[in-house]
Amino acid sequence: MISNNIINIGSLEVLFSPEIIEQCLKVCQLPTSLLYDEKGLQLFDKITGTEEYYLFDCELSILQRDSDAIAQELLSPDLPNTVVELGCGAMHKTKHLLDAFERTGKDVNFYALDLNEDELRRGLSQLEQHASYKHVKVAGICGCFDMFLKNIDKFRGSSNGQISILYLGSSIGNFNRDSATKFIKSFSDRLAIGDKFLLSFDHRNSAELVERAYDDSTRVTETFEKNILTSANRVFGEDLFNENDWDYVSKYEEDLGVHRAYLRAKKDLTIAKGPMVFNFKAGHLLLCEESWKSNDNECREIIHNGNFVVDNVHTNTTPSYSVYVGSKSFPILPQIPKEASISLEEWSQTRDIWLFVTNKLLNDSNIFNVWIPLRHPFIFYMGHIPVFNDIYLSRIFENPATASKREYWDWFQRGIDPDVENPEQCHWHSQTPPKWPSPNELRSYEVASWQNHILKLLDGSHALSPSQKRILWLCYEHVAMHIETTLYIYVQSFQHPKQNNTLCGLPPSKNLKLKKDPSWIKFPNAQVLQGLPIRSDQKTKLNSEEPDEQEFFGWDNEKPLRMKQIPSFQIANRPISNGEYLDYLESKPADDKHYPKSWKVIDGKLYVTTMYGLLPLESYHSWPVMASFEELNDYAASKGCRLPTEEELNHFYDHVLHRKSETYVSTKGMATGFQQLHPANLKDDGTHQIFTGAWEWSSTVLDKHEGFEPEALYPDYTKDFFDGKHNVVLGGSFATVPRIANRRSFRNFYQRQYQYAWITARLAKSI
């Protein structure tokens, strides 16, 4: 029987304690949680059946009408699904969603969470009497929200499982709008990217309608509110409050959109227990409960500030009431580092993205496939990140290898990057194991490595030397770069248009083809500063405890600081668009028409690869085209132009961003740093458009410049690629973290024939 399948997570005494009540009385209120004891839950169930309480019927009608659509929005088609309802009550409305879950044919673990075990058991028993499920497994959780949050991962089912949280009954209205945001954020802080949250909101309806809803003609609401006094007496262990001494007062403040339920003292009263003494004059008001009403903009702001994105809204128009389905959004990474070294918070945010990629996007259908020739399957990258951290952090900090997985070092230390023209030529790389470990083994290893190194080193209890901070920073940027690498490989896994990725939300809006050629910006002869400053004091440099950088970390090819003279030139205000590149290809003979790897031809129709699946290219003509250097260089030549040098591109970026000597400049609002998961729409308006969702090719060949020294902590980073076949790229894609994209000195590099990375280009001319 499901009514016997209840997990007690405890700590209810935190909510129902004399100390909590005393603190609330000091500010003239009682804890709202006291309303929901066993009798209170039964009374609230009666309230939902009154004629005046429109909220129940509004929500019920939405769930009856849209339950199948909501089920599709909440449940992952590929991952194990867990659904938890907060404050489940009698679950009359919930049944419609459970029925819809069952109809999907997907296995779902559903947990009903509530404070009162007897009422929870009664609700589960009633559900069992009216429903029999094959795919939905129902259980109860008895406890409070805080304890559930502490134990949330125990209910996920598996490391790559998806959790969907339901919070029905417009219960979010019990919080004011700031508190509602904090409440939602407390869940986003514990959920994984892509996990879901369903919230129902009562909107700003007429004052008359709201007032009647909270002051029904049968006076059930009054009995419910007065029951809070009985609950308080139970906590204190004696009858301090007498219901007959208090009147129920219902007030709706229409300008604020909040209804408040009070108890008003009929006479002068004294509430005393031990040292606790409260004197209430006749007419004194005690606040029992608030019910905030919010319009659509206010609801969306609450959800957005709680770090969720709205996927869809299901609305009842009269009265106005809505159910919002949202997903945990990507973290808002700091635009400008608060300090030179990496904080645990920033690394945790970036790790959340890595876990989304490896726990959700990568699955049994794609994880062992080689989606880009000359690259490993995804499974390699799942092991490479924790192994890299394990090797370098164990070496610097003399920590033991994680979880005794020393053999992983031989398999995952370094990936392959062969010469595109001659794959037989390749730098040193790890051996391929006879059999790859399972994804779950590597997920467990990543967690163990994270706990063994990062959590331990950044918990605030260690005084780290400069070189130790630098190796942590190096490991962080290595993770960040591989997130992007894994994602541009991932989009190649889409093989037909019916595939899609709902985990990233709704596809971006379609855009129109550009009608004008790019405009040109002219620059006279100039000196361009390149790189980061290093210390000139050789004695200091010989000290391994001192970093080379004066303030910020930089890779070896970013140093030293140097000045470059560039002649006058002009440069296009925006990159080359998909539509422009398509027109160029269509003008070529059929046997010379080669589409970029960022496009796919299926049944004669062109599609663009995206985080959302394959989308019709005709709908995204104004996105920047992403292709190899050679492809875009040929396009430039066809226009009588060339691609800019590294110095010219940097000079143009300096001009647009108003950069001078700053190491970092914000790119807030641009298509980088996971601010969106797709390129930007290029514009015809002549504005200077950079960070449009892709890196930008330069014509500068990666080479050893004056003053270059291999990174002592990771000497293989750049020197293996001084082969004359790699070019420098600048900027960043939509999947480049701000710490990299916003650092002026950062230089990425790719082989000129490499076709898969998110790199575009803009035209340039010499003057």
What's the pLDDT band for 592 if we cut at 50, 70, 90? confident
| Strand bridging mode 285-292 / 258-265 | antiparallel
Give CA separation, 49 vs 43, 45, 151, 221, in Å. Answer: 10, 7, 34, 11
Mean pLDDT of 328-346: 89
Return the pLDDT at 538.
40
Return the pLDDT at 288.
96
Model confidence at 547: pLDDT above 60: no
Return the pLDDT at 541.
43
Sheet holding 569-572, edge to edge: 520-523, 569-572, 764-766
In angstroms, the CA 366 to CA 379 distance is: 9
Instruction: Name the DSSP letter for residue 115.
Output: S
Paired residues of 322 in beta bridges: 201, 315
In CATH, what is the architecture of 2-6+31-208+295-328?
3-Layer(aba) Sandwich (3.40)
Cα-Cα-Cα-Cα dihedral sign, residues 174, 180, 186, 191: positive
Return the pLDDT at 546.
47
What's the pLDDT band for 544 if we cut at 50, 70, 90? very low
Q: CA neighbours within 13 Å on the CB side: how many for 144? A: 13
SS3 call for 484: helix
User: Which one is predicted more confidently, 399 or 585?
Assistant: 585
Instruction: Name the DSSP letter for residue 14.
Output: G
In angstroms, the CA 307 to CA 301 distance is: 10
Mean pLDDT of 696-712: 93
Instruction: Name the DSSP letter for residue 431.
Output: P
Return the pLDDT at 38.
85
Residues 6+ apart with CB under 8 A from 469: 340, 341, 342, 547
Start-end of H helices in 496-575: 538-541
Cα-Cα-Cα-Cα dihedral sign, residues 662, 663, 668, 672: positive
Q: Over the chain, what is the mean pLDDT? A: 90
Model confidence at 539: pLDDT above 60: no
Model confidence at 156: pLDDT above 80: yes
Q: How many residues does the chain have?
A: 767
User: Which one is predicted more confidently, 363 or 680?
Assistant: 680
Query: How large a percentage of the chain has pLDDT more than 70?
Result: 94
CATH code of domain 344-487: 1.20.120
pTM: 0.85
Mean pLDDT of 529-556: 61
Mean pLDDT of 591-616: 95
Nearest Cα residue to 347 out of 439, 478, 464, 452: 478
Return the pLDDT at 399.
66
Return the pLDDT at 364.
78
Residue that is written with structure tokens 């440069």 in the block: 571
The model's pLDDT over 189-220, given as tens digits with 9 standing for 90+, comes to 999 999 999 999 999 999 999 999 999 999 99
In angstroms, the CA 226 to CA 219 distance is: 11
Model confidence at 657: pLDDT above 90: yes
How many other CB atoms are found less than 10 A from the CB of residue 273? Answer: 14
Return the pLDDT at 3.
58
In one letter, which amino acid is 416? I
Paired residues of 750 in beta bridges: 727
Return the pLDDT at 236.
93
Model confidence at 550: pLDDT above 60: no
Cα-Cα-Cα-Cα dihedral sign, residues 98, 99, 100, 102: positive
Model confidence at 2: pLDDT above 80: no
The model's pLDDT over 488-503, given as tens digits with 9 standing for 90+, comes to 999 999 999 988 887 8
End-to-end CA distance of the chain: give it in Å, rounded: 82
In angstroms, the CA 519 to CA 628 distance is: 23
For 694: left if phi > 0, alpha if psi spans -120 to 50, otherwise beta; the answer is beta
Model confidence at 152: pLDDT above 70: yes
Model confidence at 230: pLDDT above 50: yes
CB contact burial 666-683 (16+ within 10 A = b; e otherwise): ebeebbbbbbbbbbbbbe
In angstroms, the CA 701 to CA 718 distance is: 13
Dihedral (Cα; 734, 736, 739, 742), 10-degree rounding: -50
What's the pLDDT band for 598 if we cut at 50, 70, 90? very high
Q: Which CATH number fits domain 517-575+625-766: 2.60.260.40, 3.40.50.300, 2.130.10.10, 3.90.1580.10?
A: 3.90.1580.10
Domain boundaries, the chain: 2-6+31-208+295-328, 344-487, 517-575+625-766
Tell me the backbone φ, ψ of residue 310, rounded to 5 degrees. -80, 120
